[in-house]
Structure 1
Amino acid sequence: MNDISSGRTFPRHSVDMLPVEDVGIDAINLEQVAAHIAQARSRGRYEGPTEPMEYLKHRKCIVPYDDDLRATLAGILCFGYAPQTILPHAVVDIGHYRGSEAVSFDVVHLEKGIGGTIFDQLRRVEEYLWRNTHHGMGLSDRGLERVELHEYPLAVIRELVVNLLAHRDYTLIGSAARVALYRNRIEWISPGGLPPGVTIENLLEAQAARNPGLQTILHEAGLVEAFGQGLDTVVSVLRAEEMQPPTFRDIGTAFIVTIYGRQMDRDAQSSLTLNLSPSQRRIVLLLQDRGEMTISDIEEALPERSRRMLQ
């Protein structure tokens, strides 16, 4: 079989467990494999062989090829020393824009070719999105209990980055996965569209894994809870947060998930203060402005009439 990075057409199913020509086991970081095994066992997600080489064979991260052992795409992406020297297209591009369109004069940040292992990519993309979206505090429905408000729930960001990396078509040479952050939404753009048999209509019911080897390893790492439940989790979390549902598009060459952010200013000034008295609104604004405050701090900062409301 030809080198997977040469542009050859491969079967769509289980391509992640096929050998990559001329890439031996020396491309795999065995210390990282050992750490993964230990963590997976501590999570109760793995009970197989514990010796790194045996684990790699068990998970088809290395497979026989021409009387030798060759690394597979799953092995390289999860445990490779330098995955992009072998698979240069297995990267993520981030585009961050001030407005709602991808135009050059609205660029905040462009970062092409985020590489490393699939775990490195997940961490870097998740950290960028979390660091560059809005976070605040508000009051719960129960009174003066402060609660965190986030423009995008962390669980949604994580699930969709994992989905992007686990289900993209790695046989499309020259196509990077992309994440676009706009003023009002985030788009996750996965090369290859949906796997055969999966449509927008049956997306939440179908359980077709394009890269089952990758998905199994991500499950062991605690990044995938159960096969076929990632997008269900996204839908459920957004519903619980009373946010807009995700939109899904399959354009053939890519699968696109769009999430619209919580309108932080409107939520803070409307849903959190809708039924509050003027004195209660002053307390909300104080907490949002100053952060942690004791009852005594609040009493000192309020006029006498508002202080009586606290008693």
Structure 2
Amino acid sequence: MPASPLTPDAIRQIIKEGPGPKTALLGARASARKIAEAMAALANAHGGLVILGATKARKVPGVGDPDVARELMASAALLPSPPLILPLPQLIELDGKTVCVSQVPAGLPHVYSVRGQYLVRSGRETRPLMPHELRILLLNRGEASFEAQTPHGATLEALDPDRVRAYIHLLKRPPDEDPNDLLLSRGCLAETDKGLRPTMAGLLLFGKHPQRWLRSAEITGVRYAGPAMSDDFIREDIQGALPDQIRQAEAFVNANMRRGMRIRGFEREEVPEYPISVVREAIVNAVAHRDYSIRGDNIRILMFSDRMEVYSPGRLPGHVTLDNIVEERYSRNEAIVQVLSEMGFIERLGYGIDRMIRVCEEEGLPPPEFTETSAGFKVTIHSGAEALVGAGPPANLYAHLQLNPRQEKALAFLQKNRRITNREYQTLCPDASPETLRRDLADLVDKGLILKIGQKRATFYILK
């Protein structure tokens, strides 16, 4: 297995930055077991470099005998179970000192242990995998994935026949084909010692009550009034089969995003603050590629005044990293991805990340931001409302508060101008008496939507 060329300047910079999630620095006297533990920890994470002859203090004493060091690194790779098949270690000269560098590729197919201990690279250290982390890693890299499991007690009665018939009709299958044969071929059913049983994928896609079998298989949508979380929000918990969740989540975003006018050439057109195709791609990716084995967490769509965040449980799968996410492809849930693809939701060949970036660029928006958290993956889409003419708050934002039209005008004015005076409110609503407008503003203060600043003629109001 050939190694990517490493230059002295690149290694010098890596050592200068110190140990990290993808870098293990070991002194020249490190044992073969210590080296093997660092290699296995990187292999169980996202790969990286083991540098022998450099210390955690970022010093470079080098190795004594370069050939012996290279042989030590090569033999250390064979100690984990199963053995690591790595590129040959490279010797790098740094200011008269030699370091030995071993590259651990990302996306290796197994889970590796050293003398029965499973390790992972976390921050600057190598540490043991926690039981739940090991379980998730085994599922992600094992032959049997979580979606292929058959929950205890689930029978064919748990599937909705209408959903199955609609799927068969969509595929234009022969009318005499046995639905169970099709579902079996798609990984939605499995043969067990008790006969055919629905898999987790089948229950999530076609189940009558999917949340009975996996409570966390839902989406929470929240729309906040400002750029941060606050007590003023609209929330919707979206359940049901995955195709329905996708449609309902897209409808939630559509109902809660702002719209305005944009002038192109000599024509005016209505434009939403987020490109619909980008929103759809983010939601579908979250549903299709989330880690359903993580319980107690769900997909979250958080809408703020300046951005939208779509979070899904589970870090990036397989060999996919933030660096190669545009080019690389890997499906954690192959059965779910195939069925959603056949239903027209996604293209099986890719995540659509490149399309999201391209559409945002065409719309004059910053590219989406992709972030890995400690236990999940987040996509941030930036709002384009500031560039739109007459983009007020979404129609549904304050619907639950039973505001009158004058108060909605005041809040729209505040969204755009950040503050409003009694005189400006009178200009907005010339047909209302000053006392009516005073009561309107006092009511908004009581509801916790705005704050009153100043006294008498110097009074003005801001959003809380």
TM superposition score normalised by structure 2: 0.52
CA contact (8 A) 1:62 1:70 kept: yes
The whole-number CA distance in structure 2 between the counterparts of 1:216 and 1:12 is 17
RCO greater where, 1 or 2, for CA within 8 Å and sep 6 or more? 1
Matched, 1:154 2:154: no
Alignment partner of 1:36 out of 145, 150, 167: 167
Specify which of 276, 290, 293 is matched with residue 168 of structure 1.
290
Residue 148 (structure 2) pairs with residue 26 (structure 1): no
Match of 1:96 in 2: 223
Structure 1 equivalent of residue 361 of structure 2: 239
Return the alpha-carbon distance in structure 2 between the equivalents of residues 111 and 98 of structure 1.
15
Per-residue CA deviations over 1:158-208 (Å, capped at 9, x if unaligned) read 111101111111001111111101011000011011113111001111111
Q: Which runs of 5+ in 2 are unaligned?
A: 1-131, 391-464
8 Å contact from structure 2 (residues 258, 385) kept in 1: no
Whole-Å separation in 1 of the counterparts to 2:274 and 2:297: 27
Do the aligned partners of 2:260 and 2:388 also contact (CA within 8 Å) in 1?
no
State the superposition RMSD in angstroms.
2.2
Aligned length: 253
Listed as ranges, the matches of 1:169-188 within 5 Å are 169-188=291-310
**Partner of residue 62 from structure 1, selected from 182, 189, 194:** 189
- How many angstroms does 1:118 deviate by? 0.4
Aligned equivalents of 2:135, 2:239: Cα separation in 1: 23
CA-to-aligned-CA distance 1:1-33 (integer Å, 9 cap, x gap) = xxxxxx893612532122222211111112211
Equivalent position of 1:81 in the other structure = 208
- Are 2:347 and 1:225 equivalent residues in the alignment? yes
Distance 2:301 2:356 in 1: 16
Shift, 1:128, TM fit = 0.8
Task: Work out whether 1:126 is the aligned partner of 2:247.
Answer: no
| Greater helix share, structure number | 1
Return 5+ residue gaps in structure 1 as ranges. Answer: 1-6, 270-311
Deviation at 1:78, TM superposition (A): 0.7
Alignment match of 1:209 (pick from 318, 322, 331)? 331
Paired with 2:174 and 2:281, the residues of 1 have a C-alpha distance of 25
CA offsets, 1:215-259, max 9 Å, x none?
Answer: 101100111024214222211111111211000111130101000
Q: Distance in 1 between matches of 2:192 and 2:213?
A: 17
* 1:30 and 1:52 in contact (8 A); partners too: no
Match of 1:9 in 2: 135
1:268 and 2:392 matched: no
Computing the radius of gyration from Cα coordinates, the structure with the larger value is 2
**Matched residue, 2:31:** none
Q: Contact 1:100 / 1:182 at 8 angstroms: preserved in 2?
A: yes
Q: Residues 236 and 72 (structure 1 numbering): CA distance in 2 closer, same or farther, change over 3 Å?
A: same
SS in 2 for 1:74: helix
Per-residue CA distance 1:72-95 (angstroms, 9 max, x = gap): 111001100000111111111122
Find the aligned partners of 2:223 and 2:303 in 1 and give their Cα distance: 5
* Residue identity matched to 2:190: V
Q: Cα distance 1:33–1:239, how it changes in 2: closer, same or farther (>3 A)?
A: same
SS in 2 for 1:35: helix
Aligned AA for 2:160?
Answer: N
Aligned to 1:111: 236
TM norm structure 1? 0.76
User: In percent, how many aligned pairs have the same letter?
Assistant: 32
Aligned-partner SS, 1:70: strand
Matches of 1:33 and 1:193, distance apart in 2: 31
